[in-house]
Amino acid sequence: MISEIISSRRAVYPAQYNSDPISKEEIQAILEAANWAPTHRRTEPWRFKVLQGDAKKKLAGFLAKTYKEKGENFSEVKYRKYQENPLKAACIIAICMQRDPSESIPEWEEIASTAMAVQNMWLMASTMRIGSYWGSPGVIKYMNEFFEMEDGERCLGFFYMGKYNGELPEGHRKTPISEKTTWL
């Protein structure tokens, strides 16, 4: 049931991934789920760039170098994460948003549609026992120096994926929905 899939979805981080590969067919199924996200005026603003193999190494190098050169409040621990986390993932998908050239809808709606596409990816990956999480590092604003981007396209983060062993913890929320809802 969909409510069980939604409530059992968890963030699974690179440190939890094992070395099992993710097939092209699995990635394609995850991306196909993304493509069915709601989209106002059918702008379908989501764009994805799939990184595997050497592309992950290049990304790790770029992230670490950019953080060292342009990042704020340098931390050696964070620098090492930029170097190591991309290599721990079986696949990384750069989450990008292509702004409607005619700006027929507010930008936030296109960002929201892209986020819904990522939620679809996350739910699909969860049903396939592929761990994932969406990370948006501070250096994300420099990704146009790494990727070829179209006019009006920007990177919103990375969807890290990897297979994992064992069970994930049970979820919880700080407050029930009743405390976040007003009935009129």
State whether residue 18 is helix, strand or coil: coil
- Residues near 72 by beta carbon (within 8 Å), at least 6 away in sequence: 138
Report the distance separating Cα 145 and Cα 143, nearest Å. Answer: 5
Helix axes 24-34 and 107-127, enclosed angle (nearest 10): 140
Is residue 135 a known part of a binding site? Answer: yes
Report the distance separating Cα 94 and Cα 101, nearest Å. Answer: 21
CB-CB contact of 173 with 161 (8 Å): no
Is residue 46 a known part of a binding site? Answer: no
Is residue 172 a known part of a binding site? Answer: no
Q: Give the DSSP H or E segment for 50.
A: strand 46-51
Is residue 136 a known part of a binding site? Answer: yes
CA 93 from centroid of its chain's CA atoms: 6
Which two structure tokens, joined as six digits, stand for 34?
């993304």
Q: Which residues are annotated as a binding site?
A: 40, 134-136
Q: Which residues are annotated as a binding site for FMN?
A: 40, 134-136
